[in-house]
Amino acid sequence: MTDEPGGGAGAERLILLLVGAVGAGKGTQAGILSRELGLVHLASGNLFRAALAAGTPLGEEAREYMERGELVPDELTIAMFMEELARPAARAGAILDGFPRTVGQAKALDETLAANGERIRAVLYIEVPTEALVRRVAGRWVCPQCGTPYHEDTDPPKVPGRCDLDGTELRQRDDDRPEVVRARLEKQVPPMLEVVDHYERAGIVHRLDGMQPIEAVTDDILAAIHSRAGG
Ligand code: AP5
Ligand code: MG
């Protein structure tokens, strides 16, 4: 067993969970950490948006919930996510962004991992006050190709309107309309807090000040992960 990111064959995978409300910075940090640690970034929201764009039955089913700012039902979400976690891309480990988001999902994930002798190594809870969240989401632009988020003030792309990684034209998300953002906050924060409580019991939650600049949040996350090395 090794705690090194991207550990070799037979090593326990490094599985990290990023938790935070709408716009807390999960996707931003997951993208950076995935490049830094060589782990796949699995984001349930991005997976649903990709299914929706591809017009699959899963995407169609998810659409109605996403448009109302509600959570997609557990049975759809768990099946989709477990499939991704079992792919070869996740062999070294994964950064989980947006899943699990209910205690039901958390228990399903814990059981699947335990069956392989695995577990979530650390839960990184990015805390940001609600007023700041609404402002952040209003200025967000996202790459429809790779899902990388940008912000027009705090994290602009190098070439205006284009993704730094693949040059695709950036878009605003359909569910970032103010009324949907309010619904997402109202409906999704309470179950998220229950997930945090669930993992607090296992003593693996790190609370991070998400109001700091992006690089400072990354530094805190890396320090938290390394404080767990060997644990
Ligand atoms: P999802 O796509 O996961 O949306 P979300 O949780 O609401 O989170 P966001 O992606 O909006 O925010 P983020 O934390 O990734 O922030 P970001 O890094 O972009 O889910 C969408 C929908 O899918 C859900 O509403 C639900 O319907 C469904 N769904 C998904 N998962 C599900 C599940 N498990 N179960 C059931 N349903 C599910 O940052 C936001 C902005 O802030 C950006 O512009 C960024 O540049 C900027 N920023 C980031 N960090 C900083 C910083 N430190 N300082 C200043 N600006 C910053
Ligand atoms: Mg995101």
| Dist. CA 217 → ligand 1 center (Å) | 15
Instruction: State how far the Cα of 25 lies from the Cα of 147, in Å rounded to an integer.
Output: 13
Q: Does residue 98 have its Cβ closer than 6 Å to ligand 1?
A: yes
pLDDT computed for residue 1 by the predictor: 36
Do the Cβ atoms of 77 and 99 come closer than 8 Å? yes
pLDDT computed for residue 12 by the predictor: 81
Instruction: State how far the Cα of 3 lies from the Cα of 222, in Å rounded to an integer.
Output: 13
Q: Does residue 41 have its Cβ closer than 6 Å to ligand 1?
A: no
Q: Choose the residue to mutate in 19, 22, 67 for probing ligand 1, maximizing ligand atoms within 8 Å of C-beta.
A: 22
pLDDT computed for residue 228 by the predictor: 79
* Bridge partners for 19 per DSSP: 125
pLDDT computed for residue 6 by the predictor: 39
| Minimal-distance CA residue to ligand 1 atom 17 | 25
Q: List, by residue number, the catalytic residues.
A: 26, 101, 140, 173, 184
Using alpha carbons, select from 195, 172, 170 the residue that is nearest to residue 71.
195
Do the Cβ atoms of 165 and 148 come closer than 8 Å? yes
| Dist. CA 56 → ligand 2 center (Å) | 21
pLDDT computed for residue 10 by the predictor: 54
pLDDT digit of tens for each residue in the chain (231 aa)?
334 443 344 568 999 999 999 999 999 999 999 999 999 999 999 999 999 999 999 999 999 999 999 999 999 999 999 999 999 999 999 999 999 999 999 999 999 999 999 999 999 999 999 989 998 999 999 999 999 999 999 999 999 999 999 999 999 999 998 899 999 999 999 999 999 999 999 999 999 999 999 999 999 999 999 997 654
| Dist. CA 97 → ligand 2 center (Å) | 7
